[in-house]
Amino acid sequence: MSSKSTFSNHTARSYALALYEVSKEASMLEKVENEMNDLNQILNKSPDFKKVILSPTITKEDKKKVLLKIAEQNNFSSTSNKFLGFVTSKNRLFFIEKIIESFLNITSSNKGELKAKLITSKELTSTEQNKIQDELSKEFKSSLNIDYKFDPSLIAGLIIQIGSVMVDTSIKSKLKKMQTKMVEV
């Protein structure tokens, strides 16, 4: 692992831990967790928003205005607003995805949940996501917090990862395996 990656992971975890502690102290942990999930979804669904947040050419003030507008539209708590303003003022928005991921991992871990990743080739409804979550929770005999992503490049199938257990039934993965075998021959 490179030292740059270690630094960014450590920095993101530090910010996430600070957000966790402040949220817990203000009795806003569940609300802030939902807001960070919402912000994560916005980042994943809006490439333009993500470009603004990550762009080094856009000023901190402009980024802060955009973030606060998003926060206002989504009724974010003052805890989340202050945190996002702080991260912006420290010029650490390029870590925001890692910060959110780390924060959600901390909250899940402290609730005794397992963290799972689900990537599908077709967009799932909330009902379908909940059904998969319920089935996996029964299978692993623990409550799960699923990080869901839609990726049409998988062609068909899905990828589920819970801890070190990974199931990849995507066509994309199968095609890559076939390609590797063909190159070896």
Cβ atoms of 97 and 128 closer than 8 Å: no
Can you give the pLDDT at residue 1? 45
d(CA 152, CA 81): 33
Cα 4 to the center of its chain, rounded Å:
20
Question: Look-up: residue for tokens 């991992």?
Answer: 105
Can you give the pLDDT at residue 143? 82
Please tell me the least confidently modeled range out of 24-33, 50-59, 81-90, 109-118.
109-118
Can you give the pLDDT at residue 153? 85
Q: Give the residue from 17, 15, 19, 41 showing the smallest Cα distance to 147.
A: 41
pLDDT tens track for 130-159: 898 888 888 888 888 788 888 888 888 888
d(CA 164, CA 76): 34
Of 1.10.520.20, 3.80.10.10, 1.20.120.530, 1.10.3720.10, the CATH number of 3-109 is 1.10.520.20
The kind and range of the H/E element at 166 are: strand 165-168
d(CA 17, CA 139): 30
Domain limits, the chain: 3-109, 115-184
Cβ atoms of 154 and 120 closer than 8 Å: yes
Cβ-based neighbour number of residue 63 at 10 Å = 20
Average pLDDT of the chain, as a whole number: 87
Q: Give the residue from 135, 171, 137 showing the smallest Cα distance to 151.
A: 171
